[in-house]
Structure 1
């Protein structure tokens, strides 16, 4: 079994960043995404990590999310908003003006989130507090993953920034998986141990078919005899990208039943 240093501080999903950190990450990754998409003649490039999408379609997708969040997350209510749609005013994926439209949506989302009180009541789809801070975090990670996708489309990727990647892992484990947003939910049972070696952080996830529990190492696993069934260790960016299905688990130091790892993929 892959080993990991015992930090003694739980190191579970309590790695959330601050509003300012999420906004800084969003601004940085969105700028890099836009730079990749702005290369001449790449709007028609396929995005290997998003099968069936071109670069232009990726730009429309991210921009439409920015547009939807800007329009819905500041209502001050936890009622479910209207569904996200790409309206007729949005340029087609192969139209170069889609880049200017994306720039407009990026400017709007940055200004909107900067002025949005994280404690304002706001709808979200996760089993957690219905507060607007969910969207600061969500937009940072949405952008980081799709920045990587865009860079892959032009043949040059950069890792997710280390601290942000740790929170990307945490978001998968405390938000996506408990909300049932897995790519598939086979009837598998066991314990998965994930280690972000560059952060000195670790997570234990118990799988019970469709059920998932994120375990607290300080209270539930206070010795080294826990029966982990699969493990993956590496830098935080690689662990995060593997959870998102962008990298294969074999880029990490793994042990145990690979099925348990693949069932953690989120969509």
Structure 2
């Protein structure tokens, strides 16, 4: 795991910044454009998805309980109206987080503690990755990397939350150790793969004893998290060792 410990206020600031950048990438003229990193969607569908996520989580977050919410999700309008609807959705999630104590009870779907702090983090990362999607749809040259501290925490989230909760897109029959290292931050991770299971390791022990690392992968923090989310190919990273093992860390 990384040694970075971020605060709810950092994630909220990141959400505000990434949300503004997402909105800047979306115009009525681009709604029909395909999203290369999410081939099943066009920009209109991407905007609708993000707005639906905001409204769903804003609604259950303010309940102050850790019991699961209703599964019904709000439906987005179609056509250009979806942009104004997204604007309101974004204001709603920001207001919900601003008015909620990060330590208050709040349901989540993971192995993490059921408190609101989870959603400050999750909404920041949800927005950052989809901001990158929106910018890619607007033109590949317009994509900006995810800010380094947020990207490092995104790798943390992928490894301590998504993969342990079973959100895996890669093979589940691989065994070995994968180490990850950020080239633009003092952050590194180690994961032991046990087929369908996995565990995070004490990175100090692993890096002091290199033979245990069957695959080592490195790149900027932004490229690491975008690769784990299959936004960029693993080939953008430097991979040494068994090239199949990193595929088991892909998130779905």
TM-score higher than 0.5: yes
Structure 1 stretches of at least 4 aligned residues deviating more than 3 Å after TM superposition: none
TM norm structure 2: 0.95
Q: Deviations over 1:110-132 (max 9, x none)?
A: 11101111111111111121111
Confirm or deny: 8 A CA contact 1:194 1:204 kept in the other structure. yes
Deviation at 1:14, TM superposition (A): 4.5
Confirm or deny: 8 A CA contact 1:141 1:168 kept in the other structure. yes
Measure the CA separation in 1 of the matches of 2:5 and 2:45: 30
Deviation at 1:222, TM superposition (A): 6.5
1:206 to 170, 192, 195: 192
Instruction: Indicate the SS of the match to 1:180.
Output: coil
Instruction: Quote the residue 1:142 is aligned against.
Output: 126
Instruction: Indicate the SS of the match to 1:195.
Output: strand
Instruction: Quote the residue 1:7 is aligned against.
Output: none
Q: Deviations over 1:53-77 (max 9, x none)?
A: 0100000000001000110012121
Measure the CA separation in 1 of the matches of 2:73 and 2:173: 34
Q: Are 1:56 and 2:44 an aligned pair?
A: yes
Unaligned runs of 5+ in 2: none
Measure the CA separation in 1 of the matches of 2:120 and 2:48: 20
Measure the CA separation in 2 of the matches of 1:265 and 1:225: 23
More helix by share: 2
Instruction: Quote the residue 1:18 is aligned against.
Output: 7
Q: How many residues in Structure 1 have an aligned counterpart in Structure 2?
A: 250
Unaligned runs of 5+ in 1: 1-11
Q: Are 1:34 and 2:23 an aligned pair?
A: yes
Instruction: Indicate the SS of the match to 1:62.
Output: helix
Equivalences for residues 151-190 of structure 1 within 5 A: 151-155=135-139, 156-190=142-176
Q: Are 1:248 and 2:248 an aligned pair?
A: no
Q: Are 1:66 and 2:54 an aligned pair?
A: yes
Confirm or deny: 8 A CA contact 2:158 2:228 kept in the other structure. yes
Relative CO higher for 1 or 2, CA cutoff 8 Å, sep ≥ 6?
Answer: 1
1:79 to 57, 67, 76: 67
TM norm structure 1: 0.90
Instruction: Indicate the SS of the match to 1:263.
Output: helix
Instruction: Quote the residue 1:238 is aligned against.
Output: 223
Deviation at 1:13, TM superposition (A): 4.3
Deviation at 1:214, TM superposition (A): 0.5
Instruction: Indicate the SS of the match to 2:226.
Output: helix
